[in-house]
Amino acid sequence: MSSSTILLPGQPLPSNLTTPPLPACGSGCYESNGRIIASIVGKPRRDGSIVRVIGREESGSAPDVGSIVIGTVSRLTAQQAHLTLTTSNDRPLPETSEEFQGVIRIGDIRLTERDKIKMAECFRLGDLVKAKVMSLGDARSYYLSTAANELGVMYAISEAGNPLLPVSYQEMEDELTGRREKRKVAKPEGI
């Protein structure tokens, strides 16, 4: 069963999306006896530490200028971070034959100290990033910005393979080893 499989209410989510430790349940699913079960007809999806089932009426439309998007860093260069986008304005993006792509240029990471920014100290491959759509960009990618306190890395894995917790706007800490890594951190919700 792949993540593109349509689930019916009562069916368990695929094991590749629910590997231990058990992820949190989002919309369209619930936990029962250590298994995550679909509660609606739809496609399963995992975003960081949350799994959900996306029904037809829940899928959103393409991002527009000003939209807040969430995506995973898929490629890094010294000047740009490339993201595969999964949500726009808290709604899953529609599944199409081509993925939605976004680019964060080095000058669009922070408002201050732009000349001191190093891409490797802001993002790493696999980081889950919250960004704002600045423009529709070219035919392949949206141009994105993380130049606001609430934008940046939301979820990351340390070099040791453990989840990182935010400790400042520029650092995250491995909760097991205590080692800190540099990131452009999004302001945690509730703080």
Contact residues for 162 (Cβ-Cβ < 8 A; gap 6+): 174, 175, 176, 177
Query: Mean pLDDT in each 10-residue stretch from start to end of the chain (191 residues)?
Result: 67 82 85 87 83 70 86 94 89 74 93 83 94 86 93 93 90 92 84 56
What structural domains and CATH numbers belong to the chain?
15-58 (2.40.50.100), 60-191 (2.40.50.140)
Closest CA to 172 of 154, 160, 151: 154
How much is the mean pLDDT over the chain?
85
Token pair for residue 85?
């986008």
pTM: 0.68
Q: Please say whether the beta carbons of 7 and 41 come within 8 A.
A: yes
Question: Considering only CA atoms, which of 170, 182, 163, 180 is closest in space to residue 48?
Answer: 163
CA angle 134, 62, 26 (to 5 degrees): 105
